[in-house]
Amino acid sequence: GDSVTQMEGPVTLSEEAFLTINCTYTATGYPSLFWYVQYPGEGLQLLLKATKADDKGSNKGFEATYRKETTSFHLEKGSVQVSDSAVYFCALSDHPGSARQLTFGSGTQLTVLP
Amino acid sequence: DAGVIQSPRHEVTEMGQEVTLRCKPISGHDYLFWYRQTMMRGLELLIYFNNNVPIDDSGMPEDRFSAKMPNASFSTLKIQPSEPRDSAVYFCASSSSGELFFGEGSRLTVL
């Protein structure tokens, strides 16, 4: 079945550092890929998405590129801020363009220190 | 729009008691999902509805769990009887055809 593997956390960075959170997936067909963010005490929010190979999703300075050849969707940000401290989830859906039946990774806790 | 609304935000109960969690999806969304989040197992999809009809309940852990959606604006997740291993944060989410919108979750503690 479908699965998502994320790098284990927690990740602690200083403000303005470069961020990479690795995500690889296993799926049949051509899934849509997502990154969600969960701030303390809140539900998950969609951060960015990509629906086909070589698509780049971007939002709030975060980027991720759908790499079919390496089955990866790594999250990057060039300069993190304290306000980026949260848990980040990689996810996939095998319903094209849809968020139905998302399969989530285990989440990566990010802490950014001032 | 107020977003997905869940209640209660926190529930502490004793083993054996019935627990009912409630969800109001975003108006106009035709998909509703119930997820459970724990440290050990991460985010798990329990069940989802389309147009108030349960489509996939294969994630419901056992018969103690049940979910209903009597109308487009309300859903419940019931646990009867509750057990300590049910302690988790339960999220409701709704969607039309794309992005999933999550509520703030109901944190359940079963003593």
* pLDDT recorded at residue B82: 96
Mean pLDDT of B19-47: 93
Reference A93, options A48, A7, A34; nearest CA is A34
CB contact under 8 A, A45 and B100: no
Instruction: List chain A residues with CB under 8 Å of B31.
Output: 100
Task: Convert the pLDDT of each residue in A17-50 to its tens digit.
Answer: 999 999 999 998 788 899 999 998 888 999 999 9
The average confidence (pLDDT) of chain A is 91
Task: Convert the pLDDT of each residue in A54-102 to its tens digit.
Answer: 999 999 999 999 999 999 999 999 999 999 999 999 999 876 555 567 8
Under the banding of pLDDT at 50, 70 and 90, the label for residue B42 is confident
Question: A-contacting residues of B 55-94, CB under 8 Å?
Answer: 56, 91, 93
Distance CA B61, CA B21 (A): 16
Pairwise pLDDT comparison (A65 vs A3), residue with the higher score? A65
* pLDDT recorded at residue A30: 83
CA dihedral B91, B34, B40, A76 (to 10 degrees): -70
